[in-house]
């Protein structure tokens, strides 16, 4: 592990799923689901769905005669929607590393090596199938179902060519009964695990080009051999065979890319290799939206952004004119007003008018809210420019889906490696920001089903479609909406309402204070957390630690507390390595534990942690 990686490993974090509880699932059986709405309109007429053999057998109108001898479930006026489709996730998969060299070792004494070995395949494993290695546990399935999901599209990650993705049902059953499609996309990325070639971006391009050239050459050799030509018989190669559907245009590469540069690199490389592609990730896809729309390249968009960054100018706008008190009209002949320093302590922006100075006799205003807390605890406050940049970046990530919609780019929504609850919450955020509800719903149902090759089976409530149905108390994009019942392949699941509203801390839970954090495989002294939690569960604070080189690192963080669980986020800059960090865990009195995950340009890492509340902060200095 590199030195920078060790520094990051001391500060990692992964979101912990906290699914709603569900009662035991009933096995699929004929069911008549009555009195449900198929529209978000509260006045929509009631409908009846007949479910049999795991499918929707019929959609009946009000007053229709019901089939005899089947169980009747009263929907009580609930909103019936297709169960959600998670269009892209990397969770629940333990994929082996790609093979490196498939050639037989040759004797260096007998021959001088002047050519590259043909089967140097580090990072190349197109013959791998997710459906053969999926390890989603029952609690993982329950976590998705508790948010209204019935289907999930799982993709491998971390290799140049990672293998075929799979779409699976979230019903409780053996894996062989849940696989809906085993060869949807061929996953690709511009990175490879481990050390050595290809360890650079240029080498990754070279390795991919070489493999595709070799695969086309293999096809030619096989054709010549079949014709009886006097060529040497080509070797059996399962990786070359696995790439054939892509070369024929029958299967797309699923290219993972977040940055604008990587998105453009893949567009050029796909054109060069003459293969169809779809993007996953897509954090900066809005920057190339016109090219994506013109080339008809869809995006499986991850909504993997940090919690909302506070707007440092919000209070200024509320008070009028960027926080500066509007100058009173001066009477004729009055002396010019004297410039006043802004309340934030930042100099006025270039070209802005200076406000009138308050009389010296006026008492100083008491700082409010976060500013008062910072003053009382004498905490470091980041420069205004840093806070504005963090807000700007958050808005870009949030609004990517809006820009893609405006440009006419086809997209579905996926959770990536975050819990499905986060995905639903962030879709609600998108709707609040202006994404039409119909577009958001399609990106989780019909459009997502289309992009994972299941448009004829899931994503719509029509006769002949799979019985994947979610009953909601209201539109799922309203914060108070609750999932009441879910059918997956006709199997029924009922859900209990949450005991407390989301984001509300349990009685007696208090995260405020100074904490000492110790991580697995940590080098050096414990990290220090200084946190302030308000009554609603909002948390602000600082994280500081001393790396092995003796330097001091400090960063501000924000988060929330829900029940006894907490989630904290921050941005780190360690020796030039930028990382996004998430700490999530559970509080028990003066103890906390959980996982910490960070993402950086080379990937991500996770470490478990334990924390203890420090009664005397001076103890951390001893």
Claim to verify: residue 464 and residue 560 sit in the same structural domain: no
CATH number, domain with residue 564: 2.40.128.120
Average pLDDT of the chain, as a whole number: 81
pLDDT for 107 beyond 90: no
Alpha-helix runs per DSSP H in 233-359: 238-247, 260-273, 289-295, 314-319
CATH number, domain with residue 479: 2.30.40.10
* Tally of helices (H runs) and strands (E runs) in the chain: 13, 25
Host domain of residue 12: 3-18+503-621
Q: Please state which of the ranges 127-141, 177-191, 326-340, 590-604 shows the lowest mean pLDDT.
A: 326-340
Claim to verify: residue 526 and residue 608 sit in the same structural domain: yes
Claim to verify: residue 524 and residue 483 sit in the same structural domain: no
**pLDDT at residue 329, as a whole number:** 38
**pLDDT at residue 103, as a whole number:** 57
Q: What is the pLDDT averaged over residues 212-216?
A: 94
pTM for the whole thing? 0.69
Q: Please state which of the ranges 286-295, 424-433, 534-543 shows the lowest mean pLDDT.
A: 534-543
Q: Please state which of the ranges 14-18, 392-396, 398-402 shows the lowest mean pLDDT.
A: 14-18
**514 within domain boundaries:** yes
Q: What is the pLDDT averaged over residues 434-458?
A: 96
**99 within domain boundaries:** no
Residue 247 vs residues 102, 205, 257, 278, 412: alpha-carbon distances, Å: 22, 17, 21, 15, 25
Report the percent of the chain where pLDDT is more than 90.
Answer: 47
Alpha-helix runs per DSSP H in 417-576: 420-433, 437-444, 446-451
**pLDDT at residue 354, as a whole number:** 39
Question: Residue 196 is encoded by which pair of tokens?
Answer: 């050595």
pLDDT for 72 beyond 60: yes
Whether omega for the bond prior to residue 281 falls within 30 degrees of 0, making it cis, is no
**pLDDT at residue 16, as a whole number:** 27
Q: Which residues pair with 78 in a beta bridge?
A: 36
> Which residue, 449, 467, 494, sits at the end of a domain?
494
Claim to verify: residue 482 and residue 515 sit in the same structural domain: no
User: What's the rounded Cα separation, in Å, for the pair 421 and 528?
Assistant: 29
561-579 confidence digits (pLDDT tens): 988 888 888 877 766 566 7
**563 within domain boundaries:** yes
As for how many domains the chain has, the answer is: 2
User: What's the rounded Cα separation, in Å, for the pair 173 and 28?
Assistant: 11
Residue 110 vs residues 33, 102, 212, 307, 326: alpha-carbon distances, Å: 76, 20, 31, 61, 87
Claim to verify: residue 540 and residue 603 sit in the same structural domain: yes
> Which residue, 470, 494, 518, sits at the end of a domain?
494
Closest CA to 613 of 510, 509, 515: 515
Q: What is the pLDDT averaged over residues 53-77?
A: 89
Report the percent of the chain where pLDDT is more than 70.
Answer: 76
Secondary structure of 577-612 in the HEC alphabet?
EEEEEEEEEEEECCEEEEEEEEEECCEEEEEEEEEE
pLDDT for 88 beyond 80: yes
Claim to verify: residue 555 and residue 614 sit in the same structural domain: yes
**pLDDT at residue 616, as a whole number:** 65
Q: Please state which of the ranges 3-7, 13-17, 323-327 shows the lowest mean pLDDT.
A: 13-17
Closest CA to 472 of 457, 461, 458: 461
**pLDDT at residue 345, as a whole number:** 39
3-state secondary structure of 621: helix
User: What's the rounded Cα separation, in Å, for the pair 353 and 325?
Assistant: 11
**443 within domain boundaries:** no
Sheet holding 166-169, edge to edge: 84-89, 149-154, 166-169, 179-181
Claim to verify: residue 475 and residue 562 sit in the same structural domain: no
User: What's the rounded Cα separation, in Å, for the pair 333 and 493?
Assistant: 78
Q: Please state which of the ranges 66-75, 295-304, 344-353, 433-442 shows the lowest mean pLDDT.
A: 344-353
Claim to verify: residue 482 and residue 521 sit in the same structural domain: no
User: What's the rounded Cα separation, in Å, for the pair 469 and 488?
Assistant: 7
Task: Name the pLDDT band for 332 (thresholds 50, 70, 90).
Answer: very low
pLDDT for 446 beyond 90: yes
Q: What is the pLDDT averaged over residues 280-304?
A: 96
**528 within domain boundaries:** yes
Claim to verify: residue 463 and residue 552 sit in the same structural domain: no
Residue 413 near residue 290 (C-beta atoms within 8 A): no
**pLDDT at residue 351, as a whole number:** 38
Q: What is the pLDDT averaged over residues 366-379?
A: 52
Closest CA to 578 of 595, 555, 562, 561: 555
3-state secondary structure of 130: helix
Q: What is the pLDDT averaged over residues 522-548?
A: 82
Interior angle at CA 349, CA 346 and CA 354, nearest 5: 85
pLDDT for 501 beyond 50: no
Compute the Cα dihedral for 275, 281, 284, 285 and give only its sign: positive
Claim to verify: residue 601 and residue 519 sit in the same structural domain: yes
Claim to verify: residue 513 and residue 595 sit in the same structural domain: yes
pLDDT for 226 beyond 80: yes
**pLDDT at residue 577, as a whole number:** 62
Task: Name the pLDDT band for 536 (thresholds 50, 70, 90).
Answer: confident
Task: Name the pLDDT band for 118 (thresholds 50, 70, 90).
Answer: low
Of residues 611 and 6, which shows the higher confidence score?
Answer: 611
pLDDT for 348 beyond 50: no
Claim to verify: residue 519 and residue 575 sit in the same structural domain: yes
Task: Name the pLDDT band for 195 (thresholds 50, 70, 90).
Answer: confident
Dihedral angle at the C-alpha atoms of 354, 356, 360, 363, nearest 10 degrees?
Answer: -100
Closest CA to 34 of 13, 12, 65, 3: 65
Q: What is the pLDDT averaged over residues 88-94?
A: 87
User: What's the rounded Cα separation, in Å, for the pair 43 and 29?
Assistant: 30
Phi then psi for 151, rounded to 5 degrees?
-140, 145
Task: Name the pLDDT band for 268 (thresholds 50, 70, 90).
Answer: very high
**486 within domain boundaries:** yes
**205 within domain boundaries:** no
pLDDT for 265 beyond 50: yes
**146 within domain boundaries:** no
Of residues 379 and 406, which shows the higher confidence score?
Answer: 406
3-state secondary structure of 75: strand
User: What's the rounded Cα separation, in Å, for the pair 146 and 135?
Assistant: 19
Task: Name the pLDDT band for 194 (thresholds 50, 70, 90).
Answer: confident
Task: Name the pLDDT band for 404 (thresholds 50, 70, 90).
Answer: very high
């Amino acid at each position: 592990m590199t030195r920078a990686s060790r520094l990051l490993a001391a500060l990692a974090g992964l979101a912990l799923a906290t699914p709603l509880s569900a009662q035991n699932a009933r096995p699929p059986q004929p069911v008549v689901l009555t009195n449900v709405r198929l529209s978000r309109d509260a006045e929509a007429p009631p409908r009846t769905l007949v479910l049999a053999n795991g499918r929707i057998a019929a959609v009946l109108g009000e007053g229709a005669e019901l089939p005899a001898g089947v169980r009747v479930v009263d929907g009580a006026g609930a909103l019936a929607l297709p169960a959600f489709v998670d269009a892209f996730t990397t969770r629940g998969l333990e994929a082996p590393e790609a093979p490196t060299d498939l050639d037989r070792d040759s004797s260096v004494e007998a021959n001088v090596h002047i050519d590259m070995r043909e089967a140097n395949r580090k990072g190349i494993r197109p013959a791998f199938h997710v459906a053969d290695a999926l390890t989603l546990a029952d609690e993982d399935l329950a976590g998705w179902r508790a948010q209204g999901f019935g289907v999930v599209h799982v993709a491998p990650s971390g290799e140049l060519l990672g293998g075929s993705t799979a779409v699976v049902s979230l019903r409780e059953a053996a894996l062989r009964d849940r696989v809906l499609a085993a060869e949807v996309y061929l996953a690709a990325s511009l990175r490879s695990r481990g050390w050595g070639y290809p360890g650079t971006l240029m080498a990754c391009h070279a390795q991919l080009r070489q493999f595709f050239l070799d695969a086309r050459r293999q096809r030619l050799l096989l054709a010549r051999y079949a014709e009886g030509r006097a060529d040497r018989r080509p070797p059996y190669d399962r990786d070359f065979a696995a790439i054939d559907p892509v070369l024929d245009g029958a299967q797309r590469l699923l290219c993972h890319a977040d940055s604008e540069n990587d998105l453009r690199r893949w567009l050029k490389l796909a054109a060069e290799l003459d293969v169809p592609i779809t993007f996953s990730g897509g954090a900066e896809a809005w920057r190339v939206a016109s090219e994506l729309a013109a080339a008809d390249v869809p995006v499986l968009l991850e909504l993997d952004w940090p919690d909302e960054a506070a707007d440092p100018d919000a209070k200024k706008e509320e008070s009028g004119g960027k926080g500066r008190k509007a100058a009173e009209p001066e009477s004729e002949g009055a002396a010019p007003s004297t410039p006043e320093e802004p309340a934030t302590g930042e100099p006025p922006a270039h070209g802005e008018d200076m406000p009138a100075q308050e009389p010296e006799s006026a008492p100083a205003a008491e700082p409010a809210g976060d500013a008062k807390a910072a003053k009382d605890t004498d905490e470091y406050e980041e420069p205004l420019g840093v806070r504005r940049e963090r807000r700007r970046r958050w808005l870009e990530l949030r609004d990517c889906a809006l820009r893609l919609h405006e440009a006419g780019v086809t997209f579905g929504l996926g959770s990536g490696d975050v819990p499905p609850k986060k995905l639903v919450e962030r879709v609600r955020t998108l709707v609040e920001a202006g994404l039409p509800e119909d577009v958001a719903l399609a990106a989780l149902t019909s459009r997502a089903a289309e992009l994972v090759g299941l448009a004829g089976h899931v994503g719509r409530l029509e006769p002949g479609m799979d019985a994947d149905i979610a009953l909601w108390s209201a539109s799922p994009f309203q914060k108070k909406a609750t999932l009441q019942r879910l059918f997956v392949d006709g199997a029924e699941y009922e859900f209990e309402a949450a005991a407390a509203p989301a984001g509300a801390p349990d009685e007696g839970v208090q995260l405020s204070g100074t904490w000492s954090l110790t991580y697995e495989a940590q080098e050096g002294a414990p990290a220090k957390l200084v946190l302030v939690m308000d009554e609603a569960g909002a948390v602000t604070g600082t994280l500081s630690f001393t790396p092995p080189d003796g330097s001091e690192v400090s960063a501000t963080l924000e988060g929330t507390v829900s029940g006894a669980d907490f989630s904290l986020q921050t941005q780190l800059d360690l020796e030039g390595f930028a990382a996004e960090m998430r700490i999530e865990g559970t509080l028990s009195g003066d103890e906390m534990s959980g996982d910490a995950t960070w993402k950086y340009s080379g990937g991500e890492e996770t470490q478990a942690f334990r924390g203890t509340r420090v009664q005397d902060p001076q103890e951390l200095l001893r």
